[in-house]
Homo-oligomer: A and B are copies of this chain.
Amino acid sequence: MLGVCYYPEHWPCERWAEDARRMRELGLTYVRIGEFAWSRIEPEPGRFTWAWLDEAIETLGQAGLRVVLGTPTATPPKWLVDRHPDILAVDKEGRVRGFGSRRHYSFSSRVYREEARRIVTLLAQRYGQNPHVAGWQTDNEYGCHDTTRSYGPEDLRAFREWLQARYKDIDALNEAWGNVFWSMEYRSFEEIGLPNQTVTEANPAHWLEFYRFSSEQVASFNRMQVEILRAHSPGRFVVHNFMGYTPDFDHFKLAQDLDIAGWDSYPLGFTDMDVLPCTEEEKIRYARTGHPDMAAFHHDLYRGVKPRWWVMEQQPGPVNWAHHNPSPAPGMVRLWTWEALAHGAEVVSYFRWRQFPKAQEQFHAGLNRPDFEPDVGFFEAKQVAEELQNLGSLPPSGPAPVALVFDYEADWVFSIQPQGKEFVYRDLVWRFYQALRRLGLDVDFVSPGADLSPYRMVVVPSLPIVREAALRALQAFTGPLILGPRSGSKTESLGIPPSLPPGPLQELLPLKVVRVESLPPGLWESLEWGGKTWAVGVWREWVESRLVPEARFADGKGALYRDGNCLYLAFWPELEFLQACLAQQARAAGLSPQTLPEGLRLRRRGPWVFAFNYSPEPCLVPAPEGARFLLGGREVAPYNLSVFKG
């Protein structure tokens, strides 16, 4: 199903009915409204102007649209900030982050929690049972503009309370963090500070706990809203719109309180801005399409975050916020929409209905231009709506053959202590994902500890802190299990395990990492494997083990270890190596990896196979003979797709 984001408060109310009519004509079902409208709902403290919102909902609803109503907590109005300046966040350098844009609040502000509770309650009471309101969106893009972490007095207070609750005893904390190291020992939780603005790096355990705390503050802020909404709005779903790769808080945990994970998909901006890192060559080649794995990565990630998921904001044309904002290649809005659906999206909702000719996002295209004419995206959305109509309901998505174990905490651990500048978790996951996708394999992202029995193969790019549940799930898995470097290398308190890495994973693999080293760019070691020599940079480990390595570095040290179904990579893998290695493992798992033409990607949904062509040349689809094409044909034009039954 399709939807759109709409801001009735931006347009004369006389136009609302026509807008609603045209939305329905276009084939849209959902319309998201309200998430930045606090100043229009409560223009002065305690004075409410509900009439316009009442009317907007009624108008949209009467036209047959289902409303997703946003809570406006991402944009507290100026009067609220002036009354309570302590709600403002403080950046890492100690500067207050002021009013004038959005997300100007700290998750730890007690006052702001009260204010948010108040406005959400009022909204939920008023519209919770409105027949046109299908569901709620909490706030907007948590974490956007680096707002997960704040360094002000309220944050310090809350952090101390959180630590006290977690450790109980200050000596336990000192011991766990190793505070004896530089006389960093505390006598009480009241002595603990924030980890920013130290003379040199703070204790990495200090940072990790601050990251955990900050992540949980987002979740508890959201939970507070969800509880109100559930209390006053029975039968409605609750969604939040997540963003492109945002590791600052644990989405798996936050999403436990949601019904649906939404996410905001801007393939061009993400490619230009390295949301997942692209080479300079890729940035140019895919400037008008987005990197072919960019949207898919996030679809699969957020499907892992929550089985029900939406694209809450779909790029409809050029955006305003990247360094460079090209126009999508013709057909891409349709392609992106279909790709989201192929990956299992319940709804794809375009952002926004009409380009607003003022303020920060005036260069952000919409389905309609600011002169009220339809823009290019409008027609592509229309085509999708019609195609959906013709095809009928899509078959359900089963589990993918491959699971990728993804861990937000891993990102924190390696950000805090990379030990080699290029050891970036995001990059490591991204190259595992790309390697699998280039092999034509579908991938499910799962959190550590998730049941792995539905899968044929499991990859763990890295999992530094392995807890009991994760260990049990990995142990229970019998197919090919590929473990990346630094897995099991850290304790809960970011120390080195007493038995050395991979710590608890030594139950799976009898080996010990006795030394690690990071390599400067340009220093390449090499590896013999599968009859070829592969370059190794960035990271290398020295392993002691009774196992005979499956591959060795040029100096004879072991690089690749296998015990039964378990494979351990004692180095940072290059993409080409990964592709070869994972292909081998996939074959061992009984899968049929392919080598897809560059720019072509596949995705299955039940018996349907979707093929997407991101390249400027036509591609032949690897469809079996006699395949029945539901959309397109064997040759896919540039920026186009085919759907066939295999």
Please give the residue numbers on chain A whose beta carbons come within 8 Å of chain B beta carbons, in ascending order. 9-10, 36-40, 43-44, 72, 75-79, 82, 89, 93-104, 144-145, 147, 177-187, 191, 193, 195, 197-206, 272, 280, 283-284, 287, 317-318, 320, 323-327, 355-363, 365, 369-371, 373, 375-376, 417, 419-422, 493-500, 512, 514-520, 522-523, 540, 542
Q: Are A326 and B197 in contact (CB under 8 A)?
A: no
A497 vs B370: C-alpha distance when bound (angstroms): 9
Chain B: CB-nearest residue to A178 = B358
What is the predominant secondary structure among interface residues of chain A facing chain B? loop
List, in ascending order, chain B residues with CB within 8 A of A320's CB. 419
CA distance A288 to B109 in the complex (A): 50
Please state if A520 and B272 are interface contacts (CB–CB under 8 Å). Answer: yes
Say whether, besides A493-B358, A495-B357, A324 and B420 are in contact (CB < 8 Å).
yes
Q: Which single residue of chain B is at the shortest CB-CB distance from A72? A: B183
Please list the 9 inter-chain residue pairs (A to B) with the smallest Cβ-Cβ separation, ordered nearest first. A178-B358, A357-B496, A181-B359, A100-B198, A39-B183, A75-B183, A178-B359, A324-B520, A327-B517
Provide a sorted-by-A list of 24 A–B residue pairs whose CB atoms are within 8 angstroms: A36-B182, A37-B183, A97-B199, A98-B193, A99-B184, A100-B202, A101-B198, A101-B202, A177-B358, A178-B358, A178-B362, A179-B359, A203-B360, A318-B517, A324-B519, A324-B523, A326-B520, A327-B542, A357-B496, A362-B495, A365-B515, A369-B500, A375-B514, A376-B515
Known: A102-B200, A318-B515, A515-B375. A44 touches B75 (CB 8 A): no
Are A100 and B193 within 8 A (Cβ)?
Answer: yes
CB atoms of B419 and A104 under 8 A apart: no
Report whether B101 and A323 are in contact in the complex, using a CB–CB cutoff of 8 Å.
no
The CB with the most chain B CB atoms within 10 A, among A198, A284, A358, is that of A358
Contact of A199 among B103, B283, B357, B495 (CB under 8 A): B103
Which B residue sits closest to A206, measured CB to CB?
A: B100
Smallest CB separation, A6 vs chain B (Å):
14
Task: Give the CA-CA distance A287 to B517 in the complex, in Å.
Answer: 11
Task: For A98, give its contact among B144, B198, B365 (CB under 8 Å).
Answer: B198
Alpha-carbon separation in the docked complex, A514 to B195 (Å): 49
Inter-chain contacts of A317 with B (CB < 8 A): 515
Q: Are B284 and A183 in contact (CB under 8 A)?
A: no
Given the interface pairs A43-B187, A101-B198, A200-B101, the reply to whether A324 lies near B89 with Cβ below 8 Å is: no
Using known A-B contacts A39-B184, A181-B358, A325-B517, determine if residue A287 contacts B102 with beta carbons closer than 8 Å.
no
Say whether A195 contacts B100, CB under 8 Å. Answer: yes
User: Nearest B residue to A78 by beta-carbon distance?
Assistant: B191
Residue from B77, B104, B204, B360 in contact with A360 in the complex, judged by beta carbons closer than 8 Å = B204
Measured between beta carbons, the chain B residues less than 8 angstroms from A519 are 287, 324, 326
Nearest CB of chain B from residue A519's CB, rounded to whole Å: 6
Residues of B within 8 Å of A178, CB to CB, are 10, 356-359, 362
Contacts of A357 in B (CB 8 A): 178, 495-498
